[in-house]
Structure 1
Amino acid sequence: MGQGVSRRVLAALAAAAVGAALLTAGGAAADDGVRWLCRPGLADDPCRGGLATTDVANGGTVAGAPAGDKKIDCFYVYPTVSQELTPNASLKTTPQLVGIAEHQAARFSDVCDVYAPVYRQRTLTALLAGGLYSDAQRAAFTRIAYSDVLQAWKTYLSVHNKGRGVVLIGHSQGTGMLRRLMREEVDPDPSARAKLVSAILLGGNVVVRKGSDRGGDFQNIPLCRAENQTGCVLAWAAFGKTPPDNARFGRAPESSTDGSPAGPDYEAACTNPTSLGVDRPGTASTVLRSEPLVGLLGIAAKITYGGAPPSAATPWLIPADRYTVQCVHANGAHVLQVTPQGDARTLRASPTPDWGLHLLDVNIALGDLIRIVAAETAAYTS
């Protein structure tokens, strides 16, 4: 071969090697320095896969939405799941990340193409040993985590979005990341708001002014009050009993060190997914993943259910137990109250009473969320 050809061949081989390394390291691909847990085109994408669902009460199987092009995207930021021993997680795709994406995000592939970045989140280790760190250290851990989410969002917009509408989905720490992202990058920017189909921000204390649907975290983006409303926020924290005095969720913080709203003029947002407009009590459309969660969250799930969670032969199940949900003000908190119907299993706060039903914030009404996103998509794309 000529020297020029040899150089081109070597360059192509080197590029292929780099690409293969990016695809195999940690089990996810990277672009512009972003490592994706979920993204269209990934070989092993936990946010896709089989959507067949067993309806336990009726004994039948329900098929998920057919594969094919979706009209919008979803950008998902997962909650605190990492069991790595450092305060901030690495960028490895661990079984805990895969498991939570399957449980919380995969069902949304019924209605959208799901993007989910791996980020250096504050780990469960940092959460359990929180008293060992100073306020400045904890703030530094959060800055590291947020820098990854922000970079992923900017990369998503510049490389992958291509003018499509997007739903932001977060839970717990993921909601904390997206609250800041929306405050700083979406709410003040009309062009970014125009892309927002909605934001689903659960278990993370989204704040509004008392008596208003906005004016707390977001000045321009209201809470959702109709299923076909777009450019709005769905938010709640689920509790099976009256929140205790030390509840972690459902109250606006008394003070803030990061510029987020705090104080007596604000309250935690709550939108009832069964009745967005008038908040009547309604039966939640609960959809659960059949496989058990791995690690510490799997233990927490057994506490929540008082034993093994419901399971089925299909990837998903609609449990026989039904629950009524409604937003309530109780003991100074504003939460989504979850009440068992008939002889449905009583759900327990986990891991301790101050957490409420945090582990089920997403799945307790996952069917409702999918229905709402489908309605929003129709409105947005029309």
Structure 2
Amino acid sequence: MKRIYGALLASAMLATACSPSADETADVESAETPPAETEVDADETATAAADSDGGFEVVDYEDAANWLCHPDKANDACDVDLTYTVVNADGTTSVEEVELAENPPIDCFYIYPTVSMDETPNSDMTANDEELRVVEGQLAAFGQECRIFAPLYRQITVPELRRGLGGQGFTADIAMRWSDVTGAWNEYVENYNDGRGVVIVGHSQGSSMVQDLVKKEIVGSDMEDKVISLMPIGMTTHVDAETGNFGPYEPCTTINQTGCIIAYSSYRSTLPPKQGALFGGKSPQGTSALCINPAELSGDDGVLDARLSSGGWYGEGESEFVNGEGVDTPFASVPGLLTAECVDDGSYSYLEITVNGDPSDPRADDIVGDVIGADGVNAGWGLHLVDMHAAMGNLVKILGAQSDAWAAAHPADE
């Protein structure tokens, strides 16, 4: 079987480090798992973070050095080459240039997933290769439609997650993490928003922070009506059982809808989630996890428009896309190879991704995106590593339609 050795982000290193079986791994939303993936009492952590007794230095987000991506930052981590090669099933290829917006009418605020390989429980504020790689693959393409704000934050690290899942306990400072995210958000709101619409994006640990940010800081504030959409991807998201909404935000049902939420966690059609899987499970009240299919919302009839990394495993080696060879661009698109639909099997609600490989054609027949441990694929994680890569083209298309809708409704804000 020909496989595409691409679309991996830095958090793939997390997977190898952890590698417990799905049965051995506690659900990421349970009390036994790291605070990185749980709902934290943000009122308490915000209070602790507000004073020096918190035991840590409060980050100054007026300093552009504390941002990965920021309109005023030199050497912006999102200023990367996004050119991609379209690899068709018959082996023909074409190169597509990506043009970033010069003066987009909306903003994107992004919180990245668990990627830091710092050995400390909380990461430092230095951007290493893993932070740079994750914004390259998960975020930079959004610059086609929005100004990007992506703060560094002292997240719970991969080694800390590994220690916790290994039974050694968690010692990370949750108040520190919350102080950073809210500090960055408040800096954006006070000095850069200026009434503009904003899309709030996260993945994994970042999505859990997005969920808390909305619940604790945004709902009921002046920013509530300025949120164009929420995208807490790769994390279980439960809506209110009565309203069907996440706070005031309805699930997105049309491509140009605003004030709505897009959330999903992806699994292979050949490896659906089973008891103990980490993402997509029901709430304690029996509410299904939210699944919005970006490939349907974008009007693509379930066909995913992926942007797969050509750099292979963490930027090392070369991905094979056609006839056992790679491409010369940073990313590749594989039209028709991946399709998706939302599935609710009664226990899990998730985005089911089908890989439509054909051994008779020259294109690779499969993608990489599974979490691999000592015993092989850890099915409980699903295709967590490529949740966003697999649908990047669809997400950017949706973002563009939402931007147009926002600009039309707020002409004075253009």
The TM-score normalised by the length of structure 2 is 0.73
C-alpha distance in 1, partners of 2:346/2:225?
37
- Which residue number in structure 1 is paired with residue 136 of structure 2? 102
Q: Could you tell me which of 222, 239, 244 is aligned with 2:274? A: 244
C-alpha distance in 1, partners of 2:368/2:346?
20
Instruction: Give yes or no for contact 2:305–2:391 (8 Å, CA) kept in 1.
Output: yes
- Which residue number in structure 1 is paired with residue 82 of structure 2? 51
- Which residue number in structure 2 is paired with residue 336 of structure 1? 351
Q: Which moved more, 1:122-131 or 1:51-60?
A: 51-60
- Which residue number in structure 1 is paired with residue 104 of structure 2? 70
| Paired letter, 1:151 | G
- Which residue number in structure 2 is paired with residue 23 of structure 1? none
Over 3 Å counting, the alpha-carbon distance change for 1:320 and 1:271 in structure 2 is closer
Instruction: Give yes or no for contact 2:305–2:335 (8 Å, CA) kept in 1.
Output: no
Deviation (angstroms), 1:212: 5.7
SS in 1 for 2:66: strand
Query: Over aligned residue pairs, what C-alpha RMSD do you find?
Result: 2.8
Q: Could you tell me which of 292, 295, 316 is aligned with 1:274? A: 295
SS in 2 for 1:122: coil
Counting only pairs closer than 5 Å after superposition, residues 191-210 of structure 1 correspond to structure 2 as 191-209=222-240
C-alpha distance in 1, partners of 2:100/2:226?
25
User: Tell me, which stretches of 5 or more residues in structure 2 are unaligned?
Assistant: 1-59, 359-364, 373-377, 409-414
SS in 2 for 1:119: coil
Counting only pairs closer than 5 Å after superposition, residues 340-351 of structure 1 correspond to structure 2 as 340-343=355-358, 344-345=365-366, 349-351=370-372
C-alpha distance in 2, partners of 1:331/1:346?
28
Deviation (angstroms), 1:133: 4.7
- Which residue number in structure 2 is paired with residue 255 of structure 1? none
SS in 1 for 2:366: coil
Deviation (angstroms), 1:355: 0.5
- Which residue number in structure 2 is paired with residue 185 of structure 1? 217
| Paired letter, 2:327 | A
Q: How many residues align?
A: 330
Q: Could you tell me which of 378, 393, 414 is aligned with 1:367? A: 393
More helix by share: 1
- Which residue number in structure 1 is paired with residue 127 of structure 2? 93
Higher relative contact order (CA 8 A, sep 6+): 2
| Paired letter, 2:150 | A
- Which residue number in structure 1 is paired with residue 163 of structure 2? 129
User: Tell me, which stretches of 5 or more residues in structure 1 are unaligned?
Assistant: 1-28, 253-261
C-alpha distance in 1, partners of 2:233/2:405?
23
SS in 2 for 1:235: coil
Over 3 Å counting, the alpha-carbon distance change for 1:291 and 1:71 in structure 2 is farther
C-alpha distance in 1, partners of 2:256/2:300?
18
C-alpha distance in 2, partners of 1:283/1:273?
9
- Which residue number in structure 2 is paired with residue 222 of structure 1? 250
C-alpha distance in 1, partners of 2:227/2:96?
30
- Which residue number in structure 2 is paired with residue 146 of structure 1? 178
Deviation (angstroms), 1:127: 0.9
Over 3 Å counting, the alpha-carbon distance change for 1:196 and 1:326 in structure 2 is same
Does residue 80 (structure 1) correspond to residue 114 (structure 2)? The answer is yes
Over 3 Å counting, the alpha-carbon distance change for 1:326 and 1:195 in structure 2 is same
| Paired letter, 1:200 | M
C-alpha distance in 1, partners of 2:76/2:112?
14
Q: Could you tell me which of 200, 207, 211 is aligned with 1:168? A: 200
Instruction: Give yes or no for contact 1:281–1:326 (8 Å, CA) kept in 2.
Output: no
- Which residue number in structure 2 is paired with residue 15 of structure 1? none
Q: Could you tell me which of 190, 199, 212 is aligned with 1:158? A: 190
Computing the radius of gyration from Cα coordinates, the structure with the larger value is: 1
- Which residue number in structure 1 is paired with residue 402 of structure 2? 376
